[in-house]
Amino acid sequence: MTKVAVVQMKADVDKEKNLKKILRFISQATSRGAALCAFPEFMMCYTPSSQSAAELANIAEKITGEFVSSIAKTAKENSIQVVGTLYEKSPKPNRVYDTSFLINKNGKIISKYRKIHLYDALGLKESRKLYPGSSIAKPVRTSIGKLGLMICYDLRFPEMARVLASSGSEILVVPSAWVKGVMKEEHWLTINKTRAIENGCYVIAPDQVGNIYCGRSLVVDPFGKILLDMKKKEGIRTVDISLNQVQQVRKRLPLLQNRRIDIYANLKI
C-alpha cells in the first residue's frame, strides 16, 4: 500500500497567497506519510470572468519560473512527488496554456502536459483565454506506479483515458476545476468512476472548491469504488492505494485485453 495526498483548495486571485498555501500543503502531505501530493487545476490563481485575457497572460509564467521552481524546491526538501498546475506562457498573444506537471522527490520535473480539450461548453469558453496543447504526455514511472496526466474537461473524452491506460498507466491524475451547474456533480462522480472502471486504474481527481467550483475531490479505485470524496471542505486528505488492486482487477475484468481493435478501425466515418 502507498499513501497519496489530495489537496482540495479554494484558489485566491493572488498568486503569491496561493503559492504559500501550496507549499504548506506539501509539507503537511509529507508529515502524513504521503508519497505523492496532488493539487487541482488553476491552483496558481482564481481567474474571475471579469479578468481579461491580457491580464491572465501577464500573470502566467514559464514552467521554469518562480512558481514551479518554488514548488520543486519544497518537493525536494520534503522528498515527495507533486502533481500541480500552472498558467504557462504560450506563443499566442493573450492566451496561456493550462499546464499540469509532475515533480519527483528530487525536485525534477519529469512530466508536463498542456490541456488539449478546452472547456468551450455549457455556457463557458476557455478558448477566450487559454491556448490548447498539441499532445498527450506519455505515462511515466513513479514510486506509486505508472502515472498518466489529464486535466478536468479531458475526463469527458474516454479516448484520452483509454490511450493513457493502453500505454501503461496504472493511475490517472486529473487536476480539475469542475464548474458548478445543473447535474454537474452527478456528471463528475459518474465520469470519474467510469474512467476508473473501463480502464482498470485508479483515478485521482483533486478539485477546486468555492468560487464557481463544486469541490468533491475524488480517489476512485480500479473497480469503481470511491475511496475518497472530500465534499465541500478545503483541505488535505490521504488515502492508501495498491498496484496489486490494479493487477487483480485487470485480471478479473480484462477490458484492455478484450478490446477488438482489429475490428474497430473497419468502421468508416
Q: How far is CA 203 from the centre of its chain?
A: 9
Catalytic residue among 115, 129, 146, 193: 115
Catalytic residue among 37, 45, 152, 214: 152
76: helix, strand or coil: helix
Is 36:4 a contact under the CB 8 Å cutoff? yes
Quick one: cell of 152? 478536468
Task: Confirm whether 115 is a catalytic residue.
Answer: yes
Catalytic residue among 37, 41, 61, 170: 41
Place of cell 472547456: 119
Beta carbons within 8 Å of 224's beta carbon, 6+ residues apart? 193, 194, 196, 197
54: helix, strand or coil: helix
**Residue 136 has what DSSP assignment?**
P
Is 11:41 a contact under the CB 8 Å cutoff? no
Task: Confirm whether 152 is a catalytic residue.
Answer: yes
The catalytic site residues sit at 41, 115, 152
